[in-house]
Chains A and B, each alone.
Chain A
């Protein structure tokens, strides 16, 4: 089945640690996105990529980093510079930037 897979589903991070969230898609989509979801705030765009080896900052990129070495993969690293990382993170992909997006099941990150 085609789809988009995020792992892990739950992740715990100690203060000062970097952690990497995985996102893989087999839909052959060019565009991929990372969103952060906090209660009552909707989805906020962290980073997006329209093509391999290229990505752009979204609205809340500070404290995060990404790479796009393969079309299928768009991992997100939450660095120690992100002061409030506890949130639900959603990865998505789309054929182009103007078509509907397909979302993964999300990763819930908690700082302990």
Chain B
């Protein structure tokens, strides 16, 4: 079975400060990992993904994520937060073997304070 955990329901950060949104995963093989963002009453938008290769993945809107196999983590980061980054963020994992069922985390609400 595969699973993904986002341990923080909400993260508050001051505008201009670095932000981190945490994600840990559990799969029996190699994972495909994704981050999505959701604004109120909208669908999810893809931010970035890790399939293989460099552990630091760069994505849209200045976001990046670091894959850490030993800690089974895939934390989302941004060097300088903007108020417009305030949204709901979802981590997702797909097991690379068998049928490619995607599992989403429960989401983390990011609040950037002006």
CB distance from A43 to the nearest CB of B (A): 4
Tell me whether A84 is interfacial, beta carbon within 8 Å.
Answer: no
Q: Which residues of B contact A41 (CB under 8 A)?
A: 106
- Say which size band chain A's interface belongs to: 20 to 34
A6 to B43, CA, bound (A): 10
CB distance from B52 to the nearest CB of A (A): 11
Q: Is the interface of A mostly helix, strand, loop or mixed?
A: strand
Tell me whether A82 is interfacial, beta carbon within 8 Å.
Answer: no
Contacts between chains A and B (CB distance < 8 A), count = 51
Q: How many residues of B contact A (CB 8 A)?
A: 22
A105 pairs with B101, CB closer than 8 A: no
1/0 per position for B91-114, CB-CB distance to A under 8 A? Answer: 000101001111011110000000
CB distance from B103 to the nearest CB of A (A): 8
Chain A interface residues (CB < 8 Å from chain B): 4, 6, 33, 35, 40-43, 45, 48, 88, 90, 92, 96-98, 100-106, 108
Chain B interface residues (CB < 8 Å from chain A): 9, 32, 34, 36, 41-46, 49, 90, 94, 96, 99-102, 104-107
